Amino acid sequence: MENVVAVKKKKKKKPVKKKSSGGKGLAAKAKSSGISLATLKKVYKRGQAAYLSSGSRNVPMAAWAMGRVNSFIRGSRKHDTDLRKGAKKKTKKKK
């Protein structure tokens, strides 16, 4: 009897898709809220730092940071008050 070795076929890797701005990213939140993207990025980074310093381990870091961004957009005054002063919502000028 001959030894027969089964050969597995390699699966083709699918290309990685970029995240669409379907309403979940920081850019989409900045556009819909009127708060600058740079300010929301700072809030997101602070959310990551808060997670690492004393965050709940039952929630992923990205969710913790995005929750902080959502809280900031809704007007929470618990954190990031220094950024809130400079993050006034953009309004259209009336003629």
Q: What's the confidence (pLDDT) of residue 57?
A: 77
Handedness of CA 23, 28, 30, 32 (dihedral sign): negative
Q: Return the pLDDT at 89.
A: 58
pLDDT at site 42: 92
pTM for the full predicted model: 0.63
Residue 66's pLDDT is 92
Domain residue spans of the chain: 26-86
Instruction: Please identify every stretch of the chain with a pLDDT value under 70, giving residue numbers as ranges.
Output: 1-2, 6-23, 55, 86-95
User: Buried b / exposed e across 15-43, counting CB within 10 Å, b at 16+?
Assistant: eeeeeeeeeeebeebbeebebbeebbebb
pLDDT of res. 58: 86
Give Cα separations from 25 to 9, 17, 65 (angstroms): 37, 14, 12
Q: Alpha-carbon distance 3 to 21, whole Å?
A: 54
